[in-house]
Every structure is written in structure tokens, then in C-alpha cells.
Amino acid sequence: MQQCSVRRADFPKNSACYNRKNDKRLNCGSTSSVSVSDINGKVLLHFADRTTSTADFVIGCDGIHSIIRSQYIVDKPQYSGRIAYRGLVPIDSIKGGLPFPTYSMSYLGSDKLFLVYPISKNKTLNVVADRQELASKFSNFSPTVRFVIDQMPAQPTKWLLNDREWIHQWTFAGGKLVLLGDATHAMLPHQDLKHSCPYPNKPVHYKYIFKMPTLKAGDSFPSDVVFSYIPYTEEKGDITACGLPVAYNASKEWADKKVVVFAVPGAFTPTCSVSHLPGYIQNLPQFKAKGVDVVAVVAYNDPFVMSAWGKANKITDDSILFLSDLDAKFSKSIDWADAASGRTGRYALVIDHGKVTYADIETERGALKVSFKPNPQGFSGRKLVFF
């Protein structure tokens, strides 16, 4: 697994450089935030130096003592009873003393762990421990470990390690504010995911915050959307029989029709097969009664898998079209493909004669709140009426 270790103090500088290259401005000079408020569709930030600033979105990554979190969650960090000693060793002082081509090392013992990794463009080695204590506790470890310990400063920094309760909500202010890192889910450093937790969050936040849909109610349906599709035929009716895929030009086929589209992360997967697809099958008569001409399910699977999924659910006509969004091409074009897996997201669209009248995506894994329609009046009790 490739990793990039960055010293915390260097991260804002590197971020600023990145944003300048992309013609974006990053302000790293403000003092700590005191409060945030939602005003007229914007987020207003109040800082300790009495200045204010407005933003479209705010990412609250202000650590385990998060001021922003305290506005929405009533709790406090708790001392864990543990202490960490952190020391920085210049790389030049250990060159030639390490037996491996990498400076990232983890030595495991039966009851202890020695972990080091480079930061600051491979100029400094980060070690979490006290030198004198380490020399004693790791005296029976390899010469490499003892060599690195000898290069540590005599008095490294000392940190009290706090912990916080896990929270199940990290977006606030109508989705315009997101908590990140220790402000959301603090972990003790010896728990390995601690150092990488903020970054698995990043695709999620980008997906649901920065990756706002490029297709929304009121828009025209794109003119170049083509799926792959295998029409059902009796001679190829067996689930193991393979028909021939054809290009299905959705933009052309749906230009003069009322269409309901629902997308799923994958054919034959549990939620999709047990709840999502059956819900649409059961409500086909109500859809038709409301003037729906086409009901289509879209997934990233190839057309052969989509065809087999239709047969497995006894769809032997075009009452539901099983369309392959191969490589999630269409879903990616509207920013509704899963960032981590590359699969189609779980979403729903309603298109009326070329105009999008409804578009929404599930933001919780396995949820069926906005993409499942148990009756023609709205999604799962929400006041969202299609027709």
C-alpha cells in the first residue's frame, strides 16, 4: 500500500501550493474559529480575533478539542490514561545505518511495537516514544531499532492522549458543514487507522459535498447518454443463455417519454435484490397508471449480468429495462459513482420528455430513502412527489 506521510505543520503549506496551481485560494492565516452560523445559504465563521468570513462549505478539521463540533454535539474529550512521546530525527543522521531501502519501518514484538516513518520530504524521521524509556524497553530488539533510538533527541515532546465517543452524524447546516478527522472520530495513536482516518473520509465528503450533482431537477437530460442492453427473447430466455448486447441511446429513446430510472451499486447484491428492485417491480402498475412510459434500472455491471438479473427476477418483457452503465460512465459524468469502488451510486431520476423533474442519491450505505418509491406519491414518506 502506497503512503504519503506529511508533518502536520507542513500540510497547510502544501495544500496552499496545490490550490494555487488550480487557481484556488487557501487562507491559512486566520485564528481559531469561535463559532459558525448558517445565514442566507452561506456559512458565517466567527474567529477569535473578532474577524468573520463567509463560505459555501466549511470543513471542520479542528482536532479532538473541536470548537465547531461543540456547537452541534454536546460532549467533551476524555483523557485515556495514556501518554505519547514524539521525537524527530534528521534523516541525514541515520543514513547508512538502516538495512532497508525505505525509512518507513514497523518492528513488532510480543507486547510492544516500534514504528517510524519519514516526514517533511524525507528530511525527518518521526518516532513516537521517549529515548531513555525506549532504550530500556527495546534493549532486546534489533540493532536497527537501537540505532534509531540513539539518534533521538533526549527530551521529545510529551502528549496527553484523549479519546472521544464516536458520532454517527458528521454533516450539519444543511450539508454545508462537515467534520473531519479527530473532530469526528478520534482514535489513540497505537490504533493503526488513526493516522489515515481523515483520508478515507475525504472521498466521502468530496462525493456528497464538493461533488454536487451536475444533473438536477429542472435540467435537460444530457444528449449523449448511451447504455448497453440485451433485449429479452424467448429463445434466450434461460438465465444461462447469452443474448447480443445492443447500444441503447437513452437520450434519443427518452426524448418524448416519461421515464423513471433507479441506479444500484450492483446486480445480485443483497439490498438491490431483496428490497430495491422488488419494490419497483411491485409498483409497476402504479407507475403505468401515472403515465410512466419507461422504468429502467442502471448498474455498472456488464450487459450479460444485467440481463441475467432481469431473468432471475422473471422480467420477460420491457416493463423494466436492465441497462448496463459499463464502468459507471454515465454515473461518473453526473458525479454519482462511488468514489472508492468505482461502482454506480444508489440514486433515482425522473425524466419527463427530456426534462429532469427529480434527482437524488442515497448518502448512507444500504439506505432506501430517496431512491426507492413504495408508492407513486413520494419516496419513503418524504414530501417528494414525482408526478
Residues forming the active site? 272
Return the residue matching grid coordinates 458543514: 177
CB count within 10 Å of CB 118 equals 20
The C-alpha atoms of residue 343 and residue 264 are separated, in whole angstroms, by: 9
Q: How far is CA 84 from CA 133, 162, 165, 220, in A?
A: 12, 11, 20, 57
Q: Give the residue from 260, 261, 273, 282 showing the smallest Cα distance to 366.
A: 273
Q: How far is CA 231 from CA 118, 308, 311, 323, in A?
A: 56, 11, 11, 10
The answer to whether the beta carbons of residues 273 and 310 sit under 8 Å apart is no
Give me the amino acid identity at 356. V
Backbone Cα Rg of the chain: 27
The C-alpha atoms of residue 46 and residue 72 are separated, in whole angstroms, by: 16
The C-alpha atoms of residue 91 and residue 355 are separated, in whole angstroms, by: 60
The C-alpha atoms of residue 25 and residue 23 are separated, in whole angstroms, by: 7
Sheet holding 157-163, edge to edge: 105-108, 113-119, 124-128, 78-90, 157-163
DSSP-derived letter for residue 87 is E
Q: How far is CA 89 from CA 127, 154, 156, 366, in A?
A: 8, 11, 10, 46
- Which helix (H) or strand (E) element contains residue 114? strand 113-119
At CA 112, angle to CA 110 and CA 117, rounded to 5?
Answer: 125
Return the residue matching grid coordinates 427518452: 254
The three cell numbers of residue 158 are 510529551
Return the residue matching grid coordinates 527495546: 138
The C-alpha atoms of residue 94 and residue 272 are separated, in whole angstroms, by: 55
